Structure 1
Amino acid sequence: MPAPRTPSQDTATDLVRWAAFSCVLVPVVLVWYGTSLAGAAGTAFGLAAVTAVCRILLRQSERGAARLREEEEAPRSGHRQRGGTGGHRGGRHSGGNTPVA
C-alpha cells in the first residue's frame, strides 16, 4: 500500500499534471489557429523543457521541506534545552527595571 500523500504533494502533482496538459493543448490550439507545425512543435518542446525544470525544482523543494520537518520533530540529543528566565545570554543589561536616560 503506498504511503499517504500530504496536501503539498497532491498540489505539486496536480500542478505538474496541468503543465503537462498545457504542453499538449497549446500546440494543438496554435495549429488550429494557423501556426506552422514546426512552430507548434518548438512551442511544445519549450513548454516541456520548462515543465521538466519546474518539476525538478518542486521535488527538490519538497525533499528539503520534508528534511526540515524531520529535523524539527526529532529530539536533539546532547543539547541542553534552555528555557524560562535567563535563557538569553550576552548583550547589555541595565540593573533591573530602571529607566534609561
Structure 2
Amino acid sequence: MSGPRPRSEASRATSPGQDSATDVVRWAAFSCVLVPVVLLWYGSSLAGAAGTALGLAAVTAVCRILLRQSERGAARLRAEERAPRRVTHHGRPHSGQHRAGAGARRGGRHSGGNTPVG
C-alpha cells in the first residue's frame, strides 16, 4: 500500500514555523509590488510609488533577516533541549556554565568595590 507517509516528529516541529515565516516573506514581497501598482492606479506620482516600493522592500528585508535569526535561535534551543545532560557528582544536571553569585569574580583587576566616589 502506498499512501502519504507520516512526517517524523522532528520535521513536524520545524516545518510549521519555517512555512509561516516563508509565507510572511512571500506576502510582504507581493505587497512590495502590489502597493505601488495600486498607488499608480489611483493617481499617485511615479516617484511616490517608487519610494513606497523601496521603503516596503527595506522593511521586508529587515523582517526577513529577523525571522531567519529567530528560526536559527529556536532551532538551537530545540537542539539543546534534545541533547543529553550531564549529571554532576551532586546528582544535579550540569548546565555547562558555572554559576557564581552576583559580583563574584575570579582574577583580574577590581575597581575597588562599593567605595563611594566623591
SS at match of 1:6: helix
Aligned partner of 2:24 in structure 1 is 15
Choose the corresponding residue for 2:61, options 41, 44, 52. 52
RMSD: 1.5
Distance in 1, matches of 2:73 and 2:65, equals 12
Choose the corresponding residue for 1:41, options 29, 43, 50. 50
How many residues get paired? 79
Higher RCO (CA 8 Å, separation ≥ 6 residues): 1
Stretches of structure 1 lacking an aligned partner (at least 5 in a row): 83-101
- Deviation above 4 Å: which 4+ runs of structure 1? none
Aligned partner of 2:77 in structure 1 is 68
Distance in 1, matches of 2:46 and 2:87, equals 64
TM-score (norm 2): 0.63
Stretches of structure 2 lacking an aligned partner (at least 5 in a row): 1-10, 94-118
**Alignment identity in percent?**
78
Distance in 2, matches of 1:49 and 1:63, equals 21
Distance in 2, matches of 1:22 and 1:31, equals 14
Distance in 2, matches of 1:18 and 1:50, equals 13
Distance in 2, matches of 1:77 and 1:45, equals 51
